[in-house]
Chain A
Amino acid sequence: MKMADGSTILRRNRPGTKSKDFCRWPDEPLEEMDSTLAVQQYIQQMIKRDPSNVELILTMPEAQDEGVWKYEHLRQFCMELNGLAVRLQKQCSPSTCTQMTATDQWIFLCAAHKTPKECPAIDYTRHTLDGAACLLNSNKYFPSSVTLNHRVSIKESSVTKLGSVCRRVYRIFSHAYFHHRRIFDEFEAETYLCHRFTHFVTKYNLMSKENLIVPINEEENAAPGESEA
């Protein structure tokens, strides 16, 4: 029965695998994932299948703890944001973007330091991602048992941390959008990441609407051209 399946499909990337074949294996239903990282596997599988189908990716399976679901999604966002950071590193230097800004309304202070600092945009980006990586992997706030199975939940105090991570991380999108539009568009066309992120924070009410300043296609199709700063 199940063992027979396992013997035919081994989901492994063996050394020497071509990049087009990386992680190219048949989907595994969530119920059959007996790994401790099932939720992450499931999310990555959905993204792999079609990154543009944001709605489907964000559709929570039944009997899934919402805290864990949000947590795993946020991990995935931070991970994929590395891709945007890599692109930004090439163009966004401390000399060109001395401050973390999106529109001219706000200067964002970097919260990675003991006293929030006015870091250059690229530092802000890196520090925010590094800090998020540490926080989201922290054994204190998110003990590794949270991902053990579908039932275990995350404690409420830690769930509230997700909101602040979202807010900070979102500024990377907005900075890229308003200051490095080409990079943003390329990245977005490939990953639909900002699109997905906006949906995510709206759906789970992790950020207030007025903070979501990057227009995503559905709402303002091709409109945002004028806001380039």
Chain B
Amino acid sequence: MGTNSGATAGINNKPVGGAAVLGVGVANSAILTNSLGSGGGGGLSISGLGGQNANVGGLVGGMGGAGGGTGNNGSDDSMGGPGGGPNNQQATTPQYTIPGILHFIQHEWSRFELERSQWDVDRAELQARIAMLLGERKCLESLKSDLTRRIKMLEYALRQERAKFYRLKYGTDPPQLNEFKPSSNDDGGIGTDVATDSEVPYSSVSNTTWRQGRQMLRQYLAEIGYTDNIIDVRSNRVRSILGLNNNADHDGVGGGGGGGGNAGGIGSGGENLSPNINGNESNKRASESEGRHTPAKKVQQSNDAIILDTEAAVMANFEFLGPTEMSDDDEISDDLEMVATDNEDTDVKMAKRPKSGKDMLTEDLEAEVGEQLLNDMNLITEEVDGSLGLGELAQLTVNNESDGAYDANAKDGTGGSAGGAGYRKTWNAKYTLRSHFDGVRSLIFHPEEPVLITASEDNTLKLWNLQKTVQAKKSASLDVEPLYTFRAHTGPVLCLGMSSSGETCYSGGLDGNIECWQLPSPNIDPYDCYDPNVHSGTLEGHTDAVWGLTTMQNNIVSCSADGTVKLWSPYTKEPLLRTYTAAEAEGGPSSVDFVRNEVDHIVVAYNSAHCIIYDTETGKQVIKLEASQEMSGNTGKFINKVVSHPTLPITITAHEDRHIRFWDNTSGTLVHSMVAHLEPVTSLAVDAHGLYLLSGSHDCSIRLWNLDNKTCVQEITAHRKKFDESIFDVAFHATKPYIASAGADGLAKVFV
């Protein structure tokens, strides 16, 4: 047994010295020593066992170890040692050797280690995936709440805009409050519930107007290329993101509505009518107590609150306006049109409004409401849970069917309101006239050719031919290069007139002179030789800036800051025919025009905000245009421009107080008055047929009005501001479809 113990010692040594990896090596050495052992039994380590059996056992054990011997490795007997080995039957029971077993254990251990590390890797991977999904979910959630907020903001903005336009168009409050009755089919449970329970006339209406708002939003989106399909796909996507389906939506809404039937919910609903945050807070409390369905209800309520807030704000805004003058049937369609035409300006205007100091009060109100609205939204979105957002989104799509009908109606309405014309032209900026160094004060078209002249504060006039263009880079609009520059004024040029033949043009300047020009050919080379005959005369007589100039046949009439209005017949021996001076109380004249449907009459606007019509022959005042009550206290009603209707005895005035007013020349009374722009109206032009009126304002936009029903047909933002001025002049081409605007930014634009 000495060998045995030696072997044991050897074995005992082995695991210590050899690592698990050496296991195979051990088996090999066993085999190796086996063959050596038959040769004469060396004293080498394991194989020092001697006897054949032991050798075989060692071999088998080694084999078992190498093969991962499954069966009997656990039995102590076989572990018993090589001493017992020779007694066992070799064929049936494999011989286990200590080194084999140890080797096996080592191997197993390493396998387990390997697997464990594999699991660790897997776990880490899964954890990462979980984190990622969580992040994704969070992202989607915030996206969703953001979208919700956007929807609300858009709705709010639309509402405000609609109200604004309504006000501008009719000069009265928007009448939606009374005009629309909800059709019972369309209304969800909410509307009716609230209406019956809390005696609130607004709620159902606001539901309708809300839908209307949504409709408008849809149109808006359609305009920018969002078809209904896309919208639907999107909302479906959003819903699938939320992991809910349509049915759930309906249930959510219905449930919310049903929840509203409970006393608590209604109580809070009633409170929401007063536009303050308290209402919402009580709402929150109610929703907390009401469990799962209430959040949907709450959105609804908050929406109502927002709508009511908005309406309250609108009401407050319009309180200063007079009583209702008219309300058209096609109001909806008009509103839609205006939204359609104006959408790109909305932001600009909203951003700009705070600048106009006059409206501070209303502005503050608006700002306040806006802020409050934001608060409300935050309140909502902060606690957004699945069902809440859902209620919102469901609202967006549930009413699809009714929308279709609505669309059709709207379209019919539009067709009708277009004055039976069937189609309507939309004006687009086509030509940009850039060459002036400073504001363009005035512009006038040639009566026949696509040619116009601009007059600028840079002391020059320029002649432009719209047929000689340069393609501007990267845009659809064309740049026009000026053909000729008229230089004679020594100060800013303020006004322009053109003879009916289009051969002669007149300009009045800050220097007090009226210059007469023979128009060069519209095909002249811009860098031709100087022809002194283009400047064909100066009418001297005014002692201060000439601000207004207009022509009729061969005569021109001008008004000046020297307080006089002068009638001229240029190119005659005594060009100055007559001077008209008003009473001191009227102040200086600001604008002048010939009365177009009456020979020998001129109409002059004075600083007093009155217009006086003179007979040019007698020099006597014919009539004074003044409205007894409206014009009392004329501060701020300053007239920037007066024009005469080409065919009717009507005078139109543009005022500093943002109004355009229409006067009857025969009775001298005010016929119509409307808020036309967001800032002072500076310029007016009537087309040759007397159907359309064009107005320009310091709010940077020009507006086209249908003179028949005094509605705004189109608004175009055309120029930028310099100091507090923006648009100085607008004009119609007499025979071609061109309109033009001139701005303080030194540009003139022509629209086709």
| Chain A interface residues (CB < 8 Å from chain B) | 3-8, 10-19, 22, 25, 28, 34-37, 40-41, 75-76, 78-79, 82-83, 85-86, 89, 93-94, 110, 112-113, 119-120, 122-123, 126-127, 129-131, 133-134, 136-140, 144
Identity of the chain B residue whose Cβ is nearest the Cβ of A40 in the assembled complex: B722
- Provide the bound-state CA to CA distance between A144 and B492, in Å: 22
- Provide the bound-state CA to CA distance between A22 and B638, in Å: 17
| A89 interface neighbour in B530, B559, B638, Cβ under 8 Å | B530
**A3-B355, A123-B530, A133-B485 are contacts. A36–B745 as well, Cβ < 8 Å?**
yes
Centre residue among A8, A13, A22, A133 by max chain B CB count within 10 A: A13
- Contact B590 A130, beta carbon cutoff 8 Å: no
The stretch that binds A, out of B58-66, B117-125, B430-438, B687-695, is: B430-438
- Contact B724 A10, beta carbon cutoff 8 Å: yes
- Contact A37 B745, beta carbon cutoff 8 Å: yes
Which residues of A have CB within 8 Å of B532? 89, 93
Which residues of A have CB within 8 Å of B436? 133, 137
Answer yes or no: B386 CB below 8 A from chain A CBs: no
- Contact A15 B641, beta carbon cutoff 8 Å: yes
- Provide the bound-state CA to CA distance between A68 and B363, in Å: 35
Closest 8 pairs between A and B when the two form their complex, measured CB to CB: A7-B357, A11-B723, A79-B437, A16-B590, A15-B590, A137-B434, A6-B357, A18-B561
Answer yes or no: B489 CB below 8 A from chain A CBs: yes
- Contact A82 B527, beta carbon cutoff 8 Å: no
Question: Could you write out 30 A-B pairs with CB less than 8 Å apart?
Answer: A6-B355, A6-B724, A7-B358, A8-B357, A11-B723, A11-B724, A11-B725, A12-B680, A14-B590, A15-B548, A16-B590, A18-B544, A19-B510, A36-B745, A40-B438, A40-B722, A76-B437, A79-B437, A79-B438, A79-B459, A82-B487, A83-B490, A86-B489, A110-B527, A122-B530, A127-B527, A130-B526, A131-B527, A134-B481, A139-B432
- Contact B473 A140, beta carbon cutoff 8 Å: yes
Smallest CB–CB gap between B507 and chain A, Å?
13
- Contact A4 B357, beta carbon cutoff 8 Å: yes
Smallest CB–CB gap between A72 and chain B, Å?
10
Smallest CB–CB gap between A94 and chain B, Å?
7
- Provide the bound-state CA to CA distance between A22 and B559, in Å: 16
- Contact B561 A19, beta carbon cutoff 8 Å: yes
Size of the chain B interface, CB-CB below 8 angstroms? 65
Answer yes or no: B360 CB below 8 A from chain A CBs: yes
- Provide the bound-state CA to CA distance between A15 and B741, in Å: 17
Answer yes or no: B491 CB below 8 A from chain A CBs: yes
- Provide the bound-state CA to CA distance between A86 and B535, in Å: 11
Which residues of B have CB within 8 Å of A89? 487-488, 530, 532, 535
Which residues of B have CB within 8 Å of A119? 529
Which residues of A have CB within 8 Å of B356? 6
Smallest CB–CB gap between A182 and chain B, Å?
16
- Contact A36 B492, beta carbon cutoff 8 Å: no
- Contact B545 A19, beta carbon cutoff 8 Å: yes
Which residues of B have CB within 8 Å of A17? 545, 547, 561
- Contact A129 B360, beta carbon cutoff 8 Å: no
Which residues of B have CB within 8 Å of A36? 720-721, 745
| B487 interface neighbour in A85, A93, A127, Cβ under 8 Å | A85
Which residues of A have CB within 8 Å of B512? 19
- Contact B589 A16, beta carbon cutoff 8 Å: yes
- Contact A35 B720, beta carbon cutoff 8 Å: yes
Smallest CB–CB gap between B456 and chain A, Å?
9
Which residues of A have CB within 8 Å of B173? none
Centre residue among A6, A12, A138 by max chain B CB count within 10 A: A12
- Provide the bound-state CA to CA distance between A40 and B746, in Å: 11
- Contact A139 B472, beta carbon cutoff 8 Å: yes
Which residues of A have CB within 8 Å of B459? 79, 82-83, 86
* 4 further contact pairs, Cβ within 8 A, besides A25-B723, A85-B487, A137-B435: A11-B723, A11-B724, A22-B510, A79-B438
**A15-B591, A122-B530 are contacts. A79–B458 as well, Cβ < 8 Å?**
yes
| Chain B interface residues (CB < 8 Å from chain A) | 354-358, 360, 363, 432, 434-438, 458-460, 472-473, 479, 481-482, 485, 487-492, 494, 510-512, 526-527, 529-530, 532, 535, 544-545, 547-548, 559, 561, 587-591, 607, 638, 640-641, 656, 680, 698, 720-725, 744-746
- Contact B460 A82, beta carbon cutoff 8 Å: yes
Which residues of B have CB within 8 Å of A123? 527, 529-530
Identity of the chain A residue whose Cβ is nearest the Cβ of B364 in the assembled complex: A3
Identity of the chain B residue whose Cβ is nearest the Cβ of A78 in the assembled complex: B437
- Provide the bound-state CA to CA distance between A11 and B510, in Å: 17
- Contact A86 B487, beta carbon cutoff 8 Å: yes
**A12-B723, A22-B510, A86-B489 are contacts. A112–B527 as well, Cβ < 8 Å?**
yes
| B485 interface neighbour in A15, A35, A129, Cβ under 8 Å | A129
Which residues of B have CB within 8 Å of A22? 491-492, 510, 545
- Provide the bound-state CA to CA distance between A12 and B435, in Å: 23
- Provide the bound-state CA to CA distance between A79 and B485, in Å: 12
Which residues of A have CB within 8 Å of B358? 7
Which residues of B have CB within 8 Å of A78? 437
Identity of the chain B residue whose Cβ is nearest the Cβ of A86 in the assembled complex: B487
**A28-B723, A86-B489 are contacts. A15–B547 as well, Cβ < 8 Å?**
yes
Which residues of B have CB within 8 Å of A93? 532
- Contact A19 B511, beta carbon cutoff 8 Å: yes
Identity of the chain A residue whose Cβ is nearest the Cβ of B589 in the assembled complex: A16
| B360 interface neighbour in A3, A14, A133, Cβ under 8 Å | A3
- Provide the bound-state CA to CA distance between A11 and B472, in Å: 33
Smallest CB–CB gap between B634 and chain A, Å?
14
Which residues of A have CB within 8 Å of B485? 126, 129-130, 133
Smallest CB–CB gap between A193 and chain B, Å?
13
| B527 interface neighbour in A6, A40, A130, A133, Cβ under 8 Å | A130
**A22-B492, A136-B437 are contacts. A37–B544 as well, Cβ < 8 Å?**
no
- Provide the bound-state CA to CA distance between A164 and B492, in Å: 27
Which residues of A have CB within 8 Å of B437? 75-76, 78-79, 133, 136-137
Which residues of A have CB within 8 Å of B724? 6, 10-12
Smallest CB–CB gap between B510 and chain A, Å?
5
- Contact B458 A82, beta carbon cutoff 8 Å: yes
**A41-B723, A83-B490, A123-B529 are contacts. A3–B561 as well, Cβ < 8 Å?**
no
